[in-house]
Structure 1
Amino acid sequence: MNSEIPDWVRLQKALSIEAQRGFTDLAGNQYRFSEFLCLSFGQAPPVGTPGSERRRWQEFALRFARYSQLPPAQRQSLVLEARRFLYDLRQTLESSPELSQPKLPRTKPAIGNSKTASDRFVSLDDPIGTLAEVGRIREKSLEERLGLRTVRDLLFYYPRDHIDYARQVNIAHLVAGETVTVIGTVRRCNCFTSPKNSKLTIFELLIRDKTGQIKLNRFFAGTRFTNRGWQENQKRQYPLGSVVAASGLVRKNKYGLTLEDPEIEVLDSLGASIESLKIGRVLPVYPLSEGITADVVRKAVIGAMGAISQIKEPLPVSLRNQYGLLGLKDAIANIHFPTDADTLGYARRRLVFDEFFYLQLGFLHRRHQQRQTETSAIFTPSGQLIEKFNQIIPFSLTNAQKRVVSEILADLNSSTPMNRLVQGDVGSGKTIVAVFAILAAIQSGYQAAMMAPTEVLAEQHYRKIVSWFNLLHLPVELLTGSTKVSKRREIHAQLQTGELPLLIGTHALIQDPVNFRRLGLVVIDEQHRFGVQQRARLLSKGQSPHVLSMTATPIPRTLALTMHGDLDVSQIDQLPPGRQPIQTTVLSGRERSQAYELIRREVAQGRQAYVIFPVIEESEKLDVRAAVDEYQRLRETIFPDFQIGLLHGRMNSQDKEAALNAFRDNQTPIIVATTVIEVGVDVPNATVMLVENAERFGLSQLHQLRGRVGRGSHKSYCLLMSSSKTPDAHQRLSVLEQSQDGFFISEMDLRFRGPGEILGTRQVGLPDFALASLAEDREVLELARDAAEKIMMRDPTLKEMPSIKKELEIRYQRLLGGNILT
């Protein structure tokens, strides 16, 4: 590494990959991650580094020398600190005008500035069929299959990945696993039908440069390629002594190094420019659909590049300079056809910033509008009901619960509608916090509604709250899909007269003709499982009611910002006293008998166990143990002396309730279930959870499941049975062995699996980013949030920034369909 100019990209890439893989101190071709970082920081810091930063640079060398001895949480902290340090140092050293508008290398003319593209006028709003590179025939398929209608659509159709063929190396310096371009002279060319397969044609090309030689192969399957005339034509394209450039992924086979499925172009001479759209460039890889090839999209984008000059820059120069952002036109040009990896990095960073920035601006603009709204429901934070409730509960609230209750009651005493999310780990006591809000509404003369995503969870809330409300002499009802028609009518009538102050239910609350007399508070549990429109329909039953959302799935800050950027967030970060730590162990199939023995021992002592499966019935596609089939096997051969229950989502409500009641009453000490028991089942006597095929679950989901045990006074166990032999699967599951902190676990889950999987569903109202990654681009998200907050503080109506306001309106619709509502 040159001490004057560090290889920023390589350092940040190493830190990024280590974060992706879960801080495992990855082994590279030459060094482990920690060794590479130690060596990198062990060299002299860059010229111009300030004195205090020089000391930090040297300290990082010592800290990474001890990296392998650190626990995962400290490794994560060190990697994040190093990434921020490098980013800040680079900004300091390169804080000249050139950084905000990086100069592009001039080694190759930019694609799209060719004569064919610029000779004719191309408008951003032109149909793509007007481009010569597309034509009317391809226009229809690009529109129908990729949704591309205008030239603007093409320019904003970002690649999903890039292959870096821009790096040219000598043949002797090839390294397996790298993507490169080599240039050499043809020493031999052959094209023939395989002697072992009459339908396979093999093309061989031997090229040499001053350092060595390499043999390249291409394979063509099909009888049309076995035609001798076609084969001879291939050979004539690469005459002996001609100069060729070849790009591809370096692979090692039994004959040595080669390029996998290489792209090859004949050049005029050594040193001649490469005209290919693929060879010697950073090659864009686009999302495709059946019948659309990569070359079709690339050529269409090239045709659209002539319209880049018409793109207007919404962000002021001062903001771009402050956050080190490339201009939008250059960013669009170089996200498609960058001249090198550094330029691609600048372009991607700007476009990722835009995706986050307009989302955050939309959230903050919405919150500003909400705060201009007045609610008809202003609750008194103190009163007889709350005082009496404090007297009847047989325990004291934790400090965290008291803090969150105070935040909620302060919101409820305001003329601005509350919009607050309460996050709390499994068993942290969110329900009782919600009850304080409900009682504040009732004692102020209003009604409350509480909606849960499943009948099991709704019934659990009802069971708990009705026991408290009976002591307070307050009526409460439950409305689900299983509620009988006569009971529904009775509930509807009581709501309209105001006799019923609290209704708990599932989607039935919005599906039924439910009309409240005076709805003042809406409580939504596990709110990410409801769609935007579903939540809006419940809110519409009152006049700007207060909204309290709850989740037992701790959400990392990056995910919270992209889902709940317009909410106030409270965290119950403390468990009630008496909650038992749960001993978690990952087991292989060979250790199954140990799991059964533990269950047998615990049940013999009067306690209970869950056995969890990922699917209900055996599937040919998934090699997983199915609940129904394994229920029979466990009952007949493994635990014939014990009663075993069965619970899954396809059972009707009566059977579900019967199975749950039997388990609660310890009539069935073992229950075989699917994830229907993930939330809402509270059986303090249960001490063992065995999760089959645990590798099929996300970490956050496993953490939720684990929370069903450890709720009583006895020691509890969670056994994660995994049939996978892959290191990644074991690495994921070991996180649960090491930690019971839901926020840390969800952060790791975000790295391993992505945001949609953390929340247990893909339709959770997450924005559809074209480039941004919540796991990889956290630093850019924080910068975008900071920029959006500063703009909203200075100009909340965006009156002084019409270009940003106009772009926000466009992006707002595209990101979340105009519904940033939580």
Structure 2
Amino acid sequence: MAIESPDWLRLQKALAVEADKGFTDLVGNQYRFSEFLCLSFGETPNHLMPTQRRQWQETAAKFALYPQMTLQQRQHLVADTRRFLYQLQQDTQRRNAEGEATPSPSQSPKVKIPRTTPLVQPQTEVTETPALSLDQPLSEVEEIGIRKSGYLARLGLLTLRDLLYYYPRDHIDYARQVNICNLEAGETATIVGNVKRCNCFTSPKNKKLTIFELLLQDATGQIKLNRFFAGTRYSHRGWQEQNKYRYPPGTVVAASGLVKKNKYGLTLEDPQLEVLDHADGTIDSLTIGRVVPVYPLTDGVPADIVRLAVIAVTPYASQLKEPLPSAVRKQYGLIGVSDAIANIHFPADSDTLAAARRRLVFDEFFYLQLGFLQRRQALKRHETSAVLVPTGQLINRFHQLLPFELTKAQKRVINDILNDLQSSTPMNRLVQGDVGSGKTVVAVLAILAAIQSGYQAALMAPTEVLAEQHYRKLVGWFNLLHLPVELLTGSTTTKKRRQIHAQLETGELPLLVGTHALIQDTVNFQQLGLVVIDEQHRFGVQQRARLQQKGQSPHVLTMTATPIPRTLALTLHGDLDVSQIDELPPGRQQIHTTVLSGKERNHAYELIRREIVQGRQAYIVLPLIEESEKLDLRSAVEEHERLSESIFPECQVGLLHGRMSSAQKDEALNAFRDNETQIIVSTTVIEVGVDVPNATVMMIENAERFGLSQLHQLRGRVGRGSHQSYCLLMSGSKTDTARQRLGVLEQSQDGFFISEMDMRFRGPGEVLGKRQSGLADFALASLVEDQEVLNLARDAAEKIIIQDDTLESWPLMKQELEYRYSKLMGGAILT
């Protein structure tokens, strides 16, 4: 397309004025010089030759970097651009003179984006299909070109589809226009007023700082706005006078920004400004009066390049095919995917943004759940497991041996498990239970069902302490049932290890308890029918899978004493059946929990002394083993020495931490169990598995450094007997957030509620530990804020799978599912 003479003149005039004023990136009525040139070169004329087209696009990219250039670089760029435009103008005139038709003015490069219409039209209104496909390189988009696509490539954005799905990390809502009197600190807003006074001057305290002041007023009040410019180039009198000239008294100005309060009253922080023709005039800015997207960036990639590129490719969203049937969209109140993509970038208002985000969050959850459920159905179709007998002499005798009545919750979960075991479909069930809820008894009944059916079972725990605890309990029960059970850990002697291996292979050993040692290649079961994994979130995906591979599709029962919020369980374990033991055995007393500061430490010591005098024992837990120079925290080693010598010299004080050998750990734990030591100083190695009913005090140093769920686990080490127990949370933090977090433990003993609050405070990744959690990365979705949408997405996925688990009835949905798993999750669901 040809560029009309006024455009040639306008561009050349802008370049000439910039040169005359010393290459200072002048501020015009609406744009800076560099912004005006970027927009002017934003759309490549069609009539240009290939080499001219490439140079046009390169010029646009250079002006995007103009503010960062040196004076010499700016001089060269302006001079080169003036020569380039002159040659283009001569070439156009020559071709026009030879009879080539000049396109209409409507085809000329666009500089302004009118405020009266959205930056991006809803895709339902697109009437022409763009020529490019979504999988073509961004460099082929005229408004982007080779140079700009290079910047976008630094962000991993290579194709049109990549850029469409590059969601903003945040939005700043400047769309809300208010009167000056209605501004409130902490909100973002846009105001329109008349200039009452304008000033621009060098700071008397700092010669390199220029201050721009603007006093705006409307019918309801007035406000003083400031902008600050650092650098000697802004101290030139000419630059300052030009800024004052732009805003003479009476000029109508639109201003957007974050409302803040200072000693002079309310103001806008670093306001975006634009001069208007009149109070109802058009706002041309990309930011003022709009909901502005904020994109994740990296060094050297300007925000405006990304925003302008998104504007250029958004019309191509019309090519996105809708995978969700209209009935599903209608039932769950979802807008179309094309509209959602368009409006997640440049929405007209906050309501439009909310509708776009809801659809895209639904999609993230929906395809994750769809993959989980499809995987579960495939497992049922293709894998068969041993059918185990849920009743028999072993189970009956075990019930008779129990000195207590099972709770209703335990009976319900046992029923779930035994029903699963009667099916040839491999059981894949997660049992969640709070500390002391009786998960071990539930696991034993499942193990006995496997043994009485002629199969072997394995129980794997993450630490030697916990594995030994399980072994000790099981030996007591299994001896009465005349069944052998062995323990295999890293500390097991070579002779004993060989004996265990031989008994496993012959089938003499029906149950093996152990740590990661169970997954070693030398461990071979004759007929493994059931795998029990305790504290399963402590194991990696491959570790759990290797144990399952020791048998022919064995049933799998996983357990955790760390209650997981429902949303997190659906995201992590969407392909598992989940049972909850949400009831504690009768007679358990609530543990008195108190948050104490350092000044109240003596109160804690006095409580410990009173309990010890009555024959009880206490834990003191610390986060570190040895003193750290970087962190001012009490270490287990140093604290053990201090407590032994200075605070409790009359008591025996033990020490337990993860760097001790297994023999040393056993010695320390046995001494504590036998009440030979009254106090044990420990790290979190005692978080799970240690069962000493006589211990009644849990004192946790630097409690603010632990997660709530971990603190709840530690608290569960006491309260296991008939005596009143206490948990003392020593906090060195004075922040309100730390106090609120720890206050949750004072208020509640419900592990599920505590885990929910933990996720709200710290986020799901921190709660689980990101390294082995298998938590999917979501671009938009939040497990804290979007719980309702997750439940709807799960419901929709279940209905789809019931109708057709192969998804052959919905080819676009199947294609989208395959694309998402290959692109975002490496083709595997991490559970």
**Do they superpose with TM above 0.5?**
yes
Task: Give the match's secondary structure for 1:219.
Answer: strand
Q: Given the superposition, is the C-alpha separation of residues 222 and 711 from structure 1 closer, same or farther in structure 2, using an over 3 Å criterion?
A: farther
2:795 matches 1:786: yes
* Higher normalized contact order (CA 8 Å, seq sep 6+, divided by chain length): 1
Question: What is the aligned partner in structure 1 of residue 417 from structure 2?
Answer: 408
The one-letter code matched in structure 2 to 1:700 is S
The number of residues matched between the two structures is: 716
Note the C-alpha offset of 1:253: 0.4
CA offsets per residue over residues 693-716 of structure 1, 9 Å max, x none? 222222222111110000112110
2:141 matches 1:128: no
The one-letter code matched in structure 2 to 1:408 is I
Contact 2:119–2:311 (CA under 8 A) maintained in structure 1: no
Contact 1:616–1:648 (CA under 8 A) maintained in structure 2: yes
Note the C-alpha offset of 1:476: 2.4
CA offsets per residue over residues 442-478 of structure 1, 9 Å max, x none? 2222221222222222222122212222333333232
Question: What is the aligned partner in structure 2 of residue 647 from structure 1?
Answer: 656
CA offsets per residue over residues 211-250 of structure 1, 9 Å max, x none? 3322212223445544555545544554554433221111
Task: Give the match's secondary structure for 1:752.
Answer: helix
Note the C-alpha offset of 1:547: 0.6
Question: What is the aligned partner in structure 1 of residue 373 from structure 2?
Answer: 364
Within 5 A, what are the aligned runs for 1:695-706?
695-706=704-715
Question: What is the aligned partner in structure 1 of residue 39 from structure 2?
Answer: none
Unaligned runs of 5+ in 1: 1-104
Moved more, 593-602 or 266-275: 266-275
2:342 matches 1:328: no
Contact 2:213–2:227 (CA under 8 A) maintained in structure 1: yes
Task: Give the match's secondary structure for 1:723.
Answer: coil
User: Which of 671, 696, 705 in structure 2 is aligned with 1:662?
Assistant: 671
Moved more, 425-434 or 810-819: 810-819
Q: Given the superposition, is the C-alpha separation of residues 190 and 588 from structure 1 closer, same or farther in structure 2, using an over 3 Å criterion?
A: same
Within 5 A, what are the aligned runs for 1:526-565?
526-565=535-574
Moved more, 129-138 or 595-604: 129-138
State the alpha-carbon separation in 1 of the partners of residues 769 and 130 from structure 2: 50
State the alpha-carbon separation in 2 of the partners of residues 776 and 329 from structure 1: 24
Question: Which of structures 1 and 2 has the bigger CA Rg?
Answer: 2
CA offsets per residue over residues 589-643 of structure 1, 9 Å max, x none? 2221111100111122221111122333444554433333333332232222222
User: What is the aligned-residue identity percentage?
Assistant: 74
Question: What is the aligned partner in structure 2 of residue 798 from structure 1?
Answer: 807
Question: What is the aligned partner in structure 2 of residue 417 from structure 1?
Answer: 426
Note the C-alpha offset of 1:548: 0.3
Moved more, 422-431 or 728-737: 728-737
Q: Given the superposition, is the C-alpha separation of residues 414 and 287 from structure 1 closer, same or farther in structure 2, using an over 3 Å criterion?
A: same
User: Which of 495, 516, 523 in structure 1 is aligned with 2:525?
Assistant: 516
State the alpha-carbon separation in 2 of the partners of residues 154 and 618 from structure 1: 49
Q: Given the superposition, is the C-alpha separation of residues 201 and 510 from structure 1 closer, same or farther in structure 2, using an over 3 Å criterion?
A: farther
Task: Give the match's secondary structure for 1:767.
Answer: coil
Moved more, 292-301 or 522-531: 292-301
Question: What is the aligned partner in structure 1 of residue 729 from structure 2?
Answer: 720
Question: What is the aligned partner in structure 2 of residue 744 from structure 1?
Answer: 753
Q: Given the superposition, is the C-alpha separation of residues 240 and 755 from structure 1 closer, same or farther in structure 2, using an over 3 Å criterion?
A: same
Q: Given the superposition, is the C-alpha separation of residues 118 and 254 from structure 1 closer, same or farther in structure 2, using an over 3 Å criterion?
A: farther
Task: Give the match's secondary structure for 1:713.
Answer: coil
Contact 1:380–1:440 (CA under 8 A) maintained in structure 2: yes
2:741 matches 1:735: no
Question: What is the aligned partner in structure 2 of residue 477 from structure 1?
Answer: 486
2:578 matches 1:569: yes
The one-letter code matched in structure 1 to 2:269 is E
Contact 1:701–1:760 (CA under 8 A) maintained in structure 2: no
Task: Give the match's secondary structure for 1:166.
Answer: coil
2:484 matches 1:506: no
Contact 1:765–1:816 (CA under 8 A) maintained in structure 2: no
Note the C-alpha offset of 1:418: 0.6
Unaligned runs of 5+ in 2: 1-113
Contact 1:475–1:502 (CA under 8 A) maintained in structure 2: yes
Within 5 A, what are the aligned runs for 1:121-200?
121-131=131-141, 134-137=144-147, 139-140=149-150, 142-144=152-154, 146-200=155-209
The one-letter code matched in structure 2 to 1:317 is S
Q: Given the superposition, is the C-alpha separation of residues 304 and 654 from structure 1 closer, same or farther in structure 2, using an over 3 Å criterion?
A: farther
Question: What is the aligned partner in structure 2 of residue 456 from structure 1?
Answer: 465
Task: Give the match's secondary structure for 1:763.
Answer: helix
CA offsets per residue over residues 88-113 of structure 1, 9 Å max, x none? xxxxxxxxxxxxxxxxx994323379
- Please report the TM-score for the alignment, with normalisation by the length of structure 1: 0.82
Moved more, 699-708 or 220-229: 220-229
Q: Given the superposition, is the C-alpha separation of residues 602 and 376 from structure 1 closer, same or farther in structure 2, using an over 3 Å criterion?
A: same
User: Which of 198, 211, 223 in structure 2 is aligned with 1:214?
Assistant: 223
Contact 1:497–1:517 (CA under 8 A) maintained in structure 2: yes
State the alpha-carbon separation in 2 of the partners of residues 230 and 486 from structure 1: 87
2:287 matches 1:278: yes
Contact 1:424–1:553 (CA under 8 A) maintained in structure 2: yes
State the alpha-carbon separation in 1 of the partners of residues 307 and 681 from structure 2: 53
State the alpha-carbon separation in 1 of the partners of residues 791 and 178 from structure 2: 38
CA offsets per residue over residues 730-785 of structure 1, 9 Å max, x none? 22222222221212222222322222333355531122111112221122122212
The one-letter code matched in structure 2 to 1:500 is L
Within 5 A, what are the aligned runs for 1:64-463?
107-111=116-120, 121-131=131-141, 134-137=144-147, 139-140=149-150, 142-144=152-154, 146-223=155-232, 225-226=234-235, 231-232=240-241, 234-235=243-244, 237-463=246-472
Note the C-alpha offset of 1:662: 2.4
The one-letter code matched in structure 2 to 1:791 is I
2:652 matches 1:630: no
Task: Give the match's secondary structure for 2:559.
Answer: strand
Moved more, 312-321 or 502-511: 502-511
Contact 1:373–1:417 (CA under 8 A) maintained in structure 2: no
Task: Give the match's secondary structure for 1:671.
Answer: strand
State the alpha-carbon separation in 1 of the partners of residues 248 and 132 from structure 2: 40
Contact 1:421–1:549 (CA under 8 A) maintained in structure 2: yes
Contact 2:191–2:254 (CA under 8 A) maintained in structure 1: yes
Q: Given the superposition, is the C-alpha separation of residues 666 and 334 from structure 1 closer, same or farther in structure 2, using an over 3 Å criterion?
A: same
Task: Give the match's secondary structure for 1:271.
Answer: coil
Contact 2:462–2:535 (CA under 8 A) maintained in structure 1: yes
Q: Given the superposition, is the C-alpha separation of residues 804 and 630 from structure 1 closer, same or farther in structure 2, using an over 3 Å criterion?
A: same
Task: Give the match's secondary structure for 2:524.
Answer: coil
Question: What is the aligned partner in structure 2 of residue 49 from structure 1?
Answer: none
Contact 2:505–2:524 (CA under 8 A) maintained in structure 1: yes
Note the C-alpha offset of 1:498: 2.6
Q: Given the superposition, is the C-alpha separation of residues 292 and 763 from structure 1 closer, same or farther in structure 2, using an over 3 Å criterion?
A: farther
Moved more, 257-266 or 594-603: 257-266
Contact 1:174–1:250 (CA under 8 A) maintained in structure 2: yes
Task: Give the match's secondary structure for 2:773.
Answer: coil
Contact 2:122–2:339 (CA under 8 A) maintained in structure 1: no
Contact 1:478–1:503 (CA under 8 A) maintained in structure 2: yes
Note the C-alpha offset of 1:353: 1.1
The one-letter code matched in structure 2 to 1:124 is L
State the alpha-carbon separation in 2 of the partners of residues 617 and 298 from structure 1: 50
CA offsets per residue over residues 20-78 of structure 1, 9 Å max, x none? xxxxxxxxxxxxxxxxxxxxxxxxxxxxxxxxxxxxxxxxxxxxxxxxxxxxxxxxxxx
Note the C-alpha offset of 1:524: 1.1
User: Which of 449, 466, 469 in structure 1 is aligned with 2:475?
Assistant: 466
Moved more, 402-411 or 218-227: 218-227
Question: What is the aligned partner in structure 2 of residue 584 from structure 1?
Answer: 593
The one-letter code matched in structure 2 to 1:110 is L
Note the C-alpha offset of 1:394: 3.2
